[in-house]
Amino acid sequence: MARAADVSPSTVRFYVRAKLLKPKRASNGYMKFGASDLKRLVFIRRALKLGYTLADVKAIVHDAEKGQSPCPRVRQIVVQRMDENERRLAEMIALQARLRKAARLWERMPDQPPTGNTICHLIESMEDS
């Protein structure tokens, strides 16, 4: 199963423990996976690559198992993730600008040992913004 899905055996075991894969048990105790298990594993990996969380995938699979279309949930989550990513991207761009500003400012500042009132004068020279 792991080889067919190009994942590690521990990944397969993880999804079994998470109850996303439900293999049958052979008489020797080994897990028996069928084609539907492989299809589900590929689905899980694809969803995770799209940014869905494991909890999202469980909810999507649960909808499908109840015979309900998971598509509305899938659409809602992807829009939510895009909004979150836009916000995080804006935060990262702002951080990059602060880092550039600090690097330029600190190039001209000498090294100094801490005083009783400072720890690192470089960081302390930056404004809170």
List, for residues 54-113, the tens digit of each pLDDT value. 999 999 999 999 999 999 999 999 999 999 999 999 999 999 999 999 999 999 999 999
Helix axes 35-49, 54-65, angle to 10 degrees: 140
- The 3-state DSSP composition of the chain as helix, strand, coil percent (nearest 5) reads 65, 5, 35
The pLDDT value given to residue 128: 77
* pTM for this entry: 0.73
